[in-house]
Structure 1
């Protein structure tokens, strides 16, 4: 809504009109609401969905009804629809640089946690492959139901096996409960403080950090955007967003959704219409300035090139940038060109089938 307000303030020859639809987190409602937006309200461009589960419910609808989903959330990859624009990182843009940062600093013995659906499955599968390629070890891989907060067994296993780090692919309340319980373990036993054995995530941001507070301190997250990124452009964006009602909610989720609206508006401005094909063609040929940088949609995959910054959680709801990327990583959603090995003198060529132990 902040981005729509910003676009409309420029007095363009068109006006963006939002038609909100809230499925309330109920995955069974996404397809029906999406169909209603297109058929009854005439919507052509939909910005939304968080989980991969909900996105996969919506894709058949936008493909059938000739609309576009602008998906603003990090995901596991292994997908490319000509009716989805992926305005966030896939695995080679988040997991791979995160693991390459963490393993040399903390070690190669890990426990992998994930919510029991495709995000957790696929991200942990790739992490397992990277660890094995680096002569590391997966001490355990556990999945729990989305929203489950009964995580005592995870803490007990971590305490018994003492991993070098924990990869956290839990989502929502499950993630918050785990981080709080792990912090309590660290208070009981300093050997499990996050400064010693951190929790690392590909999907944990400022808006969630505020839910966990001090219990998330010293854990790591990879993201294409952090509110604390230096530079005048980001400061201007954050201040402008705050004047439009956003404050503590400014995070990668916010920036990616904001960028989606700017891509749509720029596509309409270049094409002179909101029709699907001309807008997509414009987004693939003209760079658009966004909080994520100047971005252009990759014509082959409908993804975008993005940087991979690494942040370490502070106790005040923000992140310290411990690694600021100096370039954007080209999207490789099917991992066809990405090396999962961290050592240059070993491992398979990208693009080949790999044996995952």
Structure 2
């Protein structure tokens, strides 16, 4: 190889794939993940890139369609020659992309809470597993709000599997599930009218919601318009973030609960600095959330792993990622050796009068992921 060819090779950018929906029913939340990803890329490049080479995203919009996620993932890896893909919100889209990255030996960096019971060598999981959010939320609700739960979810793999796990937690803790209902992913306000009617009749102590995307706003609005009250029947969720609260209106969201690794109200300079940069890039009115934060810090994890590896080869990157730690906006996070999952913080927030999540319970440190729930010990929050 001539010196000129070697110079061109070493100056070529690091190209990465980015797959988040900017259209369709999940665009409301996936666009925040795109923003977190792009902010981190900006920061990496402004700091000189990785080994002097900038990171360049190759971005496609799958339109909230699982088949399009799979098709774009294959296009990225075969046509665009990209081996690392940052993307997916819904578990169904992750599962659509999974065979592609496994067959072509790429890496999917997945910044979303999920239902667990998966551990692919070709996925980096930076969102919460059930023991990092569901378990603590269940304990909190049983101890403070009652024993009778009603499940409401979007009709796809994550809500159904998450509800299966939550049901086991509830019943082990002495509670019961008194009802369960599902709506289409593209549900409208009308789809929630009969569900609200069921809630009135069943009168549960808690509504556990795994509704996602734009439909979340319709559910909470319909709930409030029916005169149901968060003081006596709170909606507790793993998927309702600051973004959905802004969309539905803080008066509608007031008093409802979410368990997550990150809220905007997390104390510390890492988070305040992150929020300042996020708002400078996207506007003062743009809220950050758990999904944007995970998308942001996973890109910085990638940057550190790539700096150590010096190559985009999946096997080498995976080795360099093991036990890697960084100071994320949520607090210190660390990748586990061998599992591809991150140690994350466990927090519970309640929406206040201003539409912000007041953190009402949190663990004393990051919680190791246990995707297969091998340990069923309780993880109490303070």
User: How high is the TM-score relative to the length of structure 2?
Assistant: 0.85
Which structure 1 segments of 5+ residues have no match?
187-191, 343-357
**Aligned-pair Cα RMSD in Å:** 1.6
Asked if 1:51 corresponds to 2:90, the answer is: yes
Partner of 1:169: 210
- Say whether the 8 Å CA contact 1:133–1:341 is kept in structure 2: no
Inter-partner Cα distance in structure 2 for 1:332 and 1:209? 29
Partner of 2:223: 182
- Residue 108 of structure 1: how far off its partner (Å): 0.7
Matches within 5 A, 1:186-225: 186=227, 192-213=228-249, 214-225=251-262
1:72-103 C-alpha deviation (Å, 9 max, x unpaired): 01111111100000011011111111111111
Inter-partner Cα distance in structure 2 for 1:330 and 1:337? 11
**Distance change in 2, residues 1:341/1:313 (3 Å):** closer
**Distance change in 2, residues 1:246/1:264 (3 Å):** farther
1:236-266 C-alpha deviation (Å, 9 max, x unpaired): 1111222222542311111010011101101
- Residue 231 of structure 1: how far off its partner (Å): 1.7
Asked if 1:90 corresponds to 2:90, the answer is: no
Inter-partner Cα distance in structure 2 for 1:7 and 1:51? 27
- Residue 340 of structure 1: how far off its partner (Å): 6.5
How many residue pairs get aligned? The number is 337
Say which of 140, 152, 169 aligns to 2:193.
152
1:154-196 C-alpha deviation (Å, 9 max, x unpaired): 111111111101000111232221111111223xxxxx31022
Say which of 239, 259, 266 aligns to 2:276.
239
- Residue 327 of structure 1: how far off its partner (Å): 1.0
Inter-partner Cα distance in structure 2 for 1:339 and 1:157? 33
- Say whether the 8 Å CA contact 1:129–1:340 is kept in structure 2: no
Partner of 1:354: none
Say which of 311, 335, 342 aligns to 1:304.
342
**Distance change in 2, residues 1:283/1:292 (3 Å):** farther
- Residue 341 of structure 1: how far off its partner (Å): 10
1:17-50 C-alpha deviation (Å, 9 max, x unpaired): 1110111112211111001111111211111001
Matches within 5 A, 1:107-126: 107-126=146-165
**Distance change in 2, residues 1:288/1:341 (3 Å):** closer
- Say whether the 8 Å CA contact 1:2–1:245 is kept in structure 2: no
- Say whether the 8 Å CA contact 2:153–2:160 is kept in structure 1: yes
Asked if 1:32 corresponds to 2:71, the answer is: yes
User: How high is the TM-score relative to the length of structure 1?
Assistant: 0.90
Inter-partner Cα distance in structure 1 for 2:338 and 2:376? 16
- Say whether the 8 Å CA contact 1:3–1:261 is kept in structure 2: yes
Inter-partner Cα distance in structure 2 for 1:28 and 1:322? 40
- Say whether the 8 Å CA contact 1:114–1:170 is kept in structure 2: yes
- Say whether the 8 Å CA contact 2:241–2:289 is kept in structure 1: yes
Which segment drifts farther, 112-121 or 309-318? 309-318
- Say whether the 8 Å CA contact 1:332–1:338 is kept in structure 2: no
Partner of 2:166: 127
Which segment drifts farther, 75-84 or 279-288? 279-288
Partner of 2:41: 4
**SS of the residue 1:158 aligns to:** helix
Which structure 2 segments of 5+ residues have no match?
1-37
Say which of 273, 282, 303 aligns to 1:265.
303
Which segment drifts farther, 152-161 or 76-85? 152-161
